């Protein structure tokens, strides 16, 4: 297998992109939106950051199609479980209205 050499300029560009996406994650966390949208924004930004790391730092971009298939399958697996987790999170938020909160001494 032939090894591909990535120029340092590419690594610097990826570094700047990752830093900008980290700043975007912090910005989204301070926006006055619902918690579900906070989570969705953070997950989308994290997915973009993950794909940059996998493509460039793990050199998947320069490998053959079998490696692409396995990396994509792992990525889809993670997306599937995040969708399940997000559905559970949204259902929990909808079921906890202020009228259903338990008071500390309701049992006595």
Q: What is the pLDDT of residue 108?
A: 52
Q: What are phi and psi of 7, to 5 degrees?
A: -65, 155
Q: Which tokens sit at 20?
A: 């900008």
End-to-end CA distance of the chain: give it in Å, rounded.
72
Closest-CA residue to 57 (of 12, 1, 2): 12
Q: What is the pLDDT of residue 65?
A: 81
| Average pLDDT per consecutive 10 residues, the chain (108 residues; last block may be shorter) | 80 96 94 86 91 86 81 86 81 65 56
DSSP H helices, 1-108, are: 8-29, 35-52, 65-95
Q: What is the largest CA-CA distance in the chain?
A: 73
């Amino acid at each position: 297998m032939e090894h591909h050499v990535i120029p340092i300029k590419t690594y610097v560009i990826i570094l700047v992109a990752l830093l900008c996406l980290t700043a975007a994650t912090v910005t989204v966390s301070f926006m006055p939106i619902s918690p579900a949208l906070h989570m969705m924004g953070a997950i989308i930004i994290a997915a973009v950051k993950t794909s940059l790391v996998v493509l460039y730092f793990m050199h998947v971009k320069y490998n053959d199609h079998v490696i692409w298939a396995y990396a994509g399958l792992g990525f889809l697996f993670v997306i599937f479980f995040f969708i399940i987790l997000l559905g559970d999170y949204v259902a929990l938020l909808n079921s906890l209205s202020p009228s259903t909160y338990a008071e500390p001494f309701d049992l006595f």
